[in-house]
A and B are shown apart, each in its own frame.
Chain A
């Protein structure tokens, strides 16, 4: 697949780059000592870097073309690597056990700082899985998802402030508030779709944020609410480190719970109706599915997870203000779903971990964070428009039936 000419092309690309960047990367005039510095080392970096990038780029394009050609020729679709792993018990059971042990041991091995980051990532896993119901399954582009997250967080904060409700009572209430708000938002946007829906939900998210920012009597405005208690462990108050570990385990359990529920929904009458709605609204109605009801359940069930994630967020940071719930958060959650693979649970989990963990660990390059973020998304859209793990549909076996697989 990779020919000598590819390497040659990449080589010339890197030569060009070295030549073009020569004046700025290599030569430096030191005006204090009036000498010219020759930084040959930079040239090597540029050369090697551009060679590798160009080479990878070419390889990916080649692969993509190859894939397209294969599909055109009507050959049996390649069973993707991920799918093969998912199907082979031999592979995925040990893999799952390893991941499980790693996750269980994580807070005991790593520092408080690491655990903290991981909890953030897990909160976003939950948010991603929730939004995945709305965007990935039901195909409703929701740019105001963060509003439900905010409502969950404020539910806990305010209920605790006024009525001293504990975390464990607030958690389901936060979820329920999310559900309720999901239905409330669902009604007015029932007739909208696509771009219009995106704009209205975007506005809705902003409205909620502005209310929180300006309605001082309710939400204490921009200064937010502090001293939100962390979850108690059977009535015991834990140290900061201890309670972070506790929150970590709660998050793991909640994520497992979310995965369980989303998986069950996906392969049910309700989940199939969502997907049908995404695929073709007219046909979906013509096949006897109540569009309004299906949209509302998608909005409501998606928002429930955001509500609970909000409670977790408030409990983790012990302080919330409207600045944590901007459009930017909505967009990150959306990116998680799109990058991970619309409709795919595993994809969303991987997407969340990448998008939340990578920027944290790349803090050193924080100036370039957004740039890298953008590049990754663009590259993804070109080479894997279906996301990291594309939607896998359930495979049914019947006696005496040929079992040719649908890829993906």
Chain B
């Protein structure tokens, strides 16, 4: 099946300047339906900046970001506020974990439900029938997600008290709660031990296969990237230097020179 036939995210000529620094320069990228796409490149290449542009934290200097969710019209989302981007169905995690440390694990996920629910001030105070129903829905669906991610034992723990690997998984759970069609993971395996990384591999696959969510991930762990990805984009100094299947990337001389070095032969 050619997944790229139906891109759900298409980025054309994306550029981002920070003062004089050109952090991104004419980057093209697309993600297909139910595809896992990886973005690799050395530190400082501009990968996180790319995520920030797509999710609305930065407004890109030039280029187009176009989303085409299934069954909906295509739409250019440049410069849309982050919360609106999330509403549109793009959800992300952060390279340096950004959970809500003094909220419980369950509450962290419940925050993800915010943009799909509507109870207002009056509803919160009077707690009418519909507010109660919605609150129950928030709790139940959040718990279901935690079960799927394997964190159901820690629902009432403070997020800050979780071990590192679980915090990373919780960030994924929280992102899933916003009902995305595309999940953006910024170095999800950073700081994980091999066992946790292996579990993460399974988890990401499961999210794609069972939920039908496309995934775009930044990752340095080549084993994970090669095993997971349908396609890989390599960037360096803000420019795209290669794209292709894992096998093509492994053999690409430019990539090898820029980033992978001998690792690829091993």
Contact = CB atoms under 8 A, between A and B. Distances in A.
A301 to B, nearest CB: 7
Interface in B178-236: 178
A269 B123 CA distance: 9
B157 A404 contact: yes
Given A270-B121, A273-B111, 6 more contacts: A282-B94, A288-B91, A290-B83, A393-B158, A396-B104, A404-B156
A265 B112 contact: no
Nearest to A269: B119
Q: Which 10 A-B pairs have the closest CB atoms?
A: A288-B115, A268-B124, A288-B86, A279-B100, A283-B98, A285-B82, A406-B158, A402-B153, A406-B157, A269-B119
Given A77-B161, A265-B124, A283-B100, A404 B111 contact: no
Interface string A397-408: 010011111111
Interface string B118-135: 011101110100010011
B87 interface: yes
Interface string A375-408: 0000000000000000101111010011111111
A283 B82 CA distance: 10
Contact of B99 (A283, A290, A403, A405): A283
Contacts of A280: 98-101
Contact of A406 (B139, B161, B178): B161
A402 B105 CA distance: 13
B153 A401 contact: yes
B76 to A, nearest CB: 20
A401 B152 contact: yes
Given A77-B161, A279-B101, A279-B103, A272 B111 contact: yes
Contacts of A404: 153-154, 156-157
Nearest to B138: A269
Interface residues of B, number: 51
B171 to A, nearest CB: 9
A105 interface: no
Contacts of A393: 102-104, 107, 156, 158
Contact of A288 (B87, B99, B102, B124): B87
B243 interface: no
A297 B135 CA distance: 19
A289 B84 CA distance: 8
Interface of A: 77, 261, 264-265, 268-273, 275-276, 279-280, 282-291, 297, 301, 391, 393-396, 398, 401-408
Nearest to A343: B102
A287 B174 contact: yes
A394 B157 CA distance: 11
Contacts of B131: 268
Contacts of B113: 269
Interface in B18-59: 55, 57
A285 B81 contact: yes
Contacts of A301: 121
Contacts of B175: 287
A182 to B, nearest CB: 13
B110 interface: yes
A406 B100 contact: no
A393 B207 CA distance: 30
Contact of B111 (A289, A394, A402): A289
A272 B107 CA distance: 8
B240 interface: no
B92 interface: yes
B155 interface: yes
Given A264-B127, A406-B104, A398 B98 contact: no
